[in-house]
Structure 1
Amino acid sequence: MPTEKIAALLDDWGAALASGDPARIADLYAPDAVLLPTASYQIRLEPGQIRRYFRDIMQRNPSARFMEVHSRVFETVGINSGIYTFTMHRDDGTPFDLVCRFTFVYLLFDEVWKIIEHHSSIMPDQV
């Protein structure tokens, strides 16, 4: 499996985020996925928690740009890590950016890659 196919999974995630549909993005995660989100102290451990996290984030009209991506594949496990920029909107509509580090770990389930681990954290200079 070429790493380009794993890197392309980020396009699917970005499109799901931009869709505004929390169910669409939550569907990219395995039922037992772990999400260590950027904008929450709570680790999300089940589909309903992941969906609620993205429902709340999507109220800020987010989009993501992947600035640096490192992809690896190990048979049925794929990993994307690097740096992305989130653009979100304040309550008054003004946009703001958060530059973050990320790691997505995928597992192949019946020919479909699902996210099993996702960690995202703000760059230290933004804290």
Structure 2
Amino acid sequence: MTLTKTVFTVLTPLTLALPLPVHASQTTTCTKTDTKQIAQLFDRWNTAVKSSDPEAVAAQYTRDAVLLPTLSNQLRLDEAARIDYFTFFLDKKPEGKIDSRRIQIGCNSAIDTGLYTFTFADKSTAQARYTFTYAWLNGKWLITSHHSSLMPETVTD
């Protein structure tokens, strides 16, 4: 099922004076989703991470997605830079687990924000804050930005 949202253009004296194309209305079809489906996007990403294939992980992102990775200070703005990071990251054999989260859903977009922990092959862990933003593009949810930063303080139970 899809939802439809109609956006109307308001004509003011200023907009009438500008040489811009004017559309009476534009219809956007909003894909129906729920928090369970958006939560599963992390599972899909984590499965790609566990595959140890940097290109499979990078395929979860839009072409122009922004990655602010957990274990690097470098901003990753294109696919080659994301593959470079994931080549390094996947060598550690990470497996992610969500500790807590909040999901917000919009029209063809979603945000998944929270805390997660990575456990590596050497049994070390990294606790981090994260935000994934998603967009519904060409029939698929893709990551448009991903920010992950190590927790500034040690977390104890």
Bin of the TM-score, shorter chain as denominator length: over 0.9
2: CA distance between counterparts of 1:41 and 1:69?
Answer: 24
Alpha-carbon deviations, 1:36-83, whole Å to 9, x = none?
Answer: 011111000000110110011111111101111211110111110101
Stretches of 4+ aligned residues off by more than 3 angstroms: none
Matched, 1:115 2:143: yes
Larger radius of gyration: 2
* Structure 1 counterpart of 2:85: 53
Separation in structure 2 between the aligned mates of residue 106 and residue 12 of structure 1, nearest angstrom: 13
What is the identity percentage for the equivalent residue pairs of Structure 1 and Structure 2? 36
**In the TM superposition, what are the counterparts of 1:64-83 in structure 2 within 5 Å?**
64-83=96-115
RMSD: 0.9
Alignment map for 1:79-98 (pairs within 5 Å): 79-89=111-121, 94-98=122-126
- In structure 2, what is the equivalent of residue 18 of structure 1? 50
Alpha-carbon distance, 1:29 to partner:
0.3
**Higher relative CO (CA 8 A, sep ≥ 6), structure 1 or 2?**
1
Distance, in Å, in 2 between the alignment partners of 1:46 and 1:38 is 17
Shift of 1:6: 0.7
Which amino acid in structure 1 is aligned with residue 119 of structure 2?
Answer: T
2:153 maps to what in 1? Answer: 125
Counterpart-to-counterpart distance in 1, 2:141 and 2:83: 18
Query: Which letter does structure 1 place at the counterpart of 2:52?
Result: G
Q: Which has the higher helix share?
A: 1
Look up the match of 2:39. Answer: 7
Give the Cα–Cα distance (whole angstroms) in 2 for the partners of residues 110 and 16 of structure 1: 20
CA positional deviation for 1:28 = 0.2
TM-fit CA distance, 1:112: 0.5
TM-score normalised according to structure 1 size: 0.92
For structure 1, list consecutive stretches of 5 or more residues without a partner in the other structure: none
How do 1:26-65 and structure 2 match up within 5 A? 26-65=58-97
- How far does the alpha carbon of each residue in 1:10-37 deviate from its partner, in whole angstroms, 9 at most, with x for none? 1001111111010100000000000001
Deviation at 1:84, TM superposition (A): 0.4
